[in-house]
């Protein structure tokens, strides 16, 4: 907890500018199609998670990098506007900020192409420079849009200093070292990421639980497998718990996983148990897909409290 009594969360990760095109259907290779509309927003898995937690009332510090371009100042101002401490977001010279080109179809499905830009310069040095602040945090959140060496350094930092870590292994990469992953207190893969991490089948919930348990056997504290419209599976050493999905009609699913992680971190770090925190996270992520965009679409704490109190959610 911070001195203000709020849960204190660190995010070590990416900031992107999201260039989003909304279209009727995804184009085929070589095809040109007219799209319906375009929007520019703030994204990046790290920044999205930071903003979700901050909008829900957590004290959030972010470690990362922006580039030397017009996007950098906007990104920093946007994060600071949501109350995120940006003093450990470095300006990398001679390189662009992170950019994500995103296509969204009417069902809310998406494809995303990212240019790492400055995110690719985040290193163990950034973690060392922020170490005094990181040591005051209840939980450190990590994703895979920064170099793996920085992610490993953060996992090692958390282990060494007794600060819990949550690794969201997205976007999936076979380069992720399973030995380093085992340092995480929480791991939040989706089914695809779990399959890549374990090399095991993940079609059924039984297979998912079996695969996740192999990670627990190797040292991961808790595995939370996100299964989209099927909800989530919490896999611990002694128990497997299904977290039911919250049914909504999605219009844009971009950033839903980040809303889930940011909300889980905020509620878990404030002392709620893992299962109630996951139920909150599930409701928060479901709400986020009912609006277009990512950070600006996430509910504030007051809005989310009203959503949770509504009779249909009781």
Cβ–Cβ contacts within 10 Å for residue 80, how many? Answer: 14
- Position 293 contacts ligand RIB (CB under 6 A): no
Distance CA 234, CA 212 (A): 9
Joined together, the tokens standing for residue 125 give 């040095």
Collapsing DSSP states into helix, strand and coil, what is residue 295? helix
Cα 200 to the chain's mean position, in Å?
24
Nearer to ligand RIB among residue 220 and residue 256 (C-beta)? 256
- Position 112 contacts ligand RIB (CB under 6 A): yes
Q: Which stretch binds ligand RIB (CB under 6 A): 77-85, 87-95, 122-130, 249-257?
A: 249-257
Nearest approach, Cβ of residue 271 and ligand RIB (Å): 27
Name which of 5, 170, 23 is nearest 105 in CA terms: 23
Nearest approach, Cβ of residue 172 and ligand RIB (Å): 12
Place of tokens 């928060």: 284
- Position 63 contacts ligand RIB (CB under 6 A): no
Distance CA 236, CA 132 (A): 31
Dihedral of CA 153/159/165/167: which sign? positive
- Position 59 contacts ligand RIB (CB under 6 A): no
Q: Which stretch binds ligand RIB (CB under 6 A): 153-161, 185-193, 253-261, 300-308?
A: 253-261
- Position 168 contacts ligand RIB (CB under 6 A): no
- Position 252 contacts ligand RIB (CB under 6 A): no
Catalytic-labelled residue, pool 133, 258, 287, 296: 258
- Position 100 contacts ligand RIB (CB under 6 A): yes
Name which of 298, 303, 272, 264 is nearest 11 in CA terms: 264
Distance CA 194, CA 199 (A): 8
Q: Determine whether 258 is an active site residue.
A: yes
In terms of C-beta density within 10 A (0-12 exposed, 13-18 middle, 19 or more buried), how is residue 238 classed?
exposed
- Position 55 contacts ligand RIB (CB under 6 A): no
Q: Which of 254, 265, 281, 286 binds ligand RIB (CB under 6 A)?
A: 254
Q: Which stretch binds ligand RIB (CB under 6 A): 87-95, 250-258, 267-275, 277-285?
A: 250-258
- Position 48 contacts ligand RIB (CB under 6 A): yes
Nearest approach, Cβ of residue 54 and ligand RIB (Å): 16
Joined together, the tokens standing for residue 60 give 């959030």
Give the strands of the sheet with 222-226, arranged side by side. Answer: 85-91, 59-66, 8-12, 139-142, 164-167, 186-187, 222-226, 232-235, 240-243
Nearer to ligand RIB among residue 51 and residue 233 (C-beta)? 51
Nearer to ligand RIB among residue 131 and residue 192 (C-beta)? 192
> Which spans of this chain sit near ligand RIB (rule: CB under 6 A)?
16, 18, 43-45, 48, 100, 112, 114, 145, 254-255, 257-258, 294
Name the residues annotated as catalytic.
258
């Amino acid at each position: 907890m911070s001195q203000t009594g709020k849960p204190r969360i660190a995010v070590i990760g990416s900031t992107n500018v999201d260039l989003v095109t909304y279209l009727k259907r995804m184009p085929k290779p070589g095809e040109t199609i007219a799209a319906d509309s375009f929007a520019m927003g703030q994204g990046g898995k790290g920044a999205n998670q930071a903003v979700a937690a901050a909008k829900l009332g957590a004290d959030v510090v972010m470690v990362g990098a922006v580039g030397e371009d017009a996007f950098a100042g906007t990104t920093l101002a946007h994060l600071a506007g949501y109350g995120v401490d940006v003093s450990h977001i470095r300006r990398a010279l001679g390189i662009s900020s992170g950019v994500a080109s995103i296509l969204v179809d009417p069902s809310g499905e998406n494809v995303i192409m990212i240019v790492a830009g400055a995110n690719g310069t985040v290193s163990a040095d950034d973690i060392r420079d922020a170490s005094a602040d990181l040591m005051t945090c209840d939980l450190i959140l990590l994703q895979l849009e920064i170099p793996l060496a920085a992610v490993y350094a953060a996992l090692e930092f958390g282990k060494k200093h007794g600060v819990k870590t949550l690794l969201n292994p997205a976007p999936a990469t076979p380069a992720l070292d399973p030995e380093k992953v085992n340092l995480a207190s929480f791991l939040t893969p989706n089914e695809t990421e779990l399959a890549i991490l374990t090399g095991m089948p993940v079609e059924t919930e039984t297979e998912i639980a079996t695969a996740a348990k192999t990670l627990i056997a190797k040292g991961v504290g808790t595995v939370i497998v996100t299964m989209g419209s099927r909800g989530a599976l919490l896999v611990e050493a002694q128990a497997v718990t299904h977290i039911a999905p919250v049914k909504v009609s999605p219009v844009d699913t971009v950033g839903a996983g980040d809303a889930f992680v940011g909300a889980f971190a905020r509620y878990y770090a404030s002392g709620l148990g893992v299962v109630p925190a996951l139920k909150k996270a599930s409701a928060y992520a479901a709400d986020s897909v009912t609006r277009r965009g990512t950070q600006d679409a996430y509910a504030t704490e007051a809005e989310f409290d009203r959503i949770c109190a509504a009779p249909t959610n009781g």
